[in-house]
Amino acid sequence: MKADRQFMQEMSDIEWYHRIPINGVTTPGKNLTHLKLKTLHLPESFEGLSVLDVGAWDGFFSFEAERRGASRVVALDSFIWRERGRKGFDFAKKALGSKVEPIEMEVLDICPERLGSFDVVLFLGVLYHMKHPLLALEKVASVTKKLLIVETLLDAERMKRPAMIYYPGDQQHKDSTNWWGPNTNAVVDMLTTVGFPEVEVVSKMPFRTRLAKGFYDCWKGRTGYSSMVYEVFNQGRGTFHARAAVE
């Protein structure tokens, strides 16, 4: 599909989350998708691999897996597609001539009987939206044949013991869909508990790097001073590669 006037008009009518490059144009998403991609350490090649992208939203990472040669990609989501529709995903899929298969399903309904299993499962930016995080990891583990990649918000990082912070209401970034912020050790231990013998922390970004944004939010009244200090020293983002046992 050419990036002509109609293409630009249709694209600008969509409320984008991801920044997806299509025909020399990038969709105007609010998420810094290209930076997130660098932190994930995805395999350079997905040649011959089946991939499940859980919480796909506009589908950037599904299309990226396909671009890297995946033999089959399923993009799964529920919440955002139900609330806001699937316009971004559908537009990008058509424009890219993609074969990625969208499936609307809740994380807790994931099971091999309904979905089959996949060589690689992506669980990016979803764990902290889960009311029952360990159960959610159990579900995604049940359909992972080789590698599960988890990217998540981290909290309580200054605690050594595995811990999670509970966010009642909209305490975390004024978003009531955020439930739990685990620390690194909690994510590693939960992944081990759900059956992965090998778990690697492949990247960590402390929120200290977002100090300026923290001050700005505080100044704007979006967050209080003490929670800003807490967030800066305890929170961050991390990516984990969990490898299944070799059959």
Ligand X SMILES: C[S@@+](CC[C@H](N)C(=O)[O-])C[C@H]1O[C@@H](n2cnc3c(N)ncnc32)[C@H](O)[C@@H]1O
- Cβ of 209: how many Cβ atoms within 10 Å? 11
Number of residues that bind ligand X (CB under 6 A): 13
CB of 45 to ligand X, least distance (A): 21
Closest C-alpha among 189, 195, 184, 182 to residue 243? 195
Nearer to ligand X, 31 or 98 (CB): 31
Task: Give the residue ranges of DSSP H helices in the chain.
Answer: 5-12, 33-40, 60-67, 79-84, 87-96, 112-115, 133-142, 184-193, 211-219, 225-234
89 binds ligand X per the rule CB under 6 A: no
Q: What is the DSSP letter of 158?
A: T
Kindly write out the interface string for residues 95-134 of this chain, putting x where it contacts ligand X by CB under 6 A and - elsewhere: -----------xx----------------xxx--x-----
Residue nearest to ligand X (CB): 55
Question: Structure tokens of 42?
Answer: 């995805």
Q: How far is CA 146 from the centre of its chain?
A: 18
- Classified as helix, coil or strand, 20 is coil
46 binds ligand X per the rule CB under 6 A: no
Span of 1-9, 20-28, 75-83, 112-120 interacting with ligand X by CB under 6 A? 75-83
CB of 222 to ligand X, least distance (A): 18
Among 16, 43, 52, 55, binds ligand X (CB under 6 A): 55
Among 80, 134, 163, 202, binds ligand X (CB under 6 A): 80
Among 46, 57, 167, 179, binds ligand X (CB under 6 A): 57
CB of 78 to ligand X, least distance (A): 4
- 14-18 contact pairs (CB < 8 A, 24+): 14/87, 14/88, 14/91, 15/84, 15/87, 15/88, 16/58, 16/88, 17/57, 17/58, 17/80, 17/88, 18/57, 18/58, 18/59, 18/60, 18/88, 18/92
Span of 4-12, 77-85, 157-165, 194-202 interacting with ligand X by CB under 6 A? 77-85
Among 37, 39, 68, 79, binds ligand X (CB under 6 A): 79
Point out which residues bind ligand X (CB under 6 A).
31, 55, 57, 77-80, 106-107, 124-126, 129
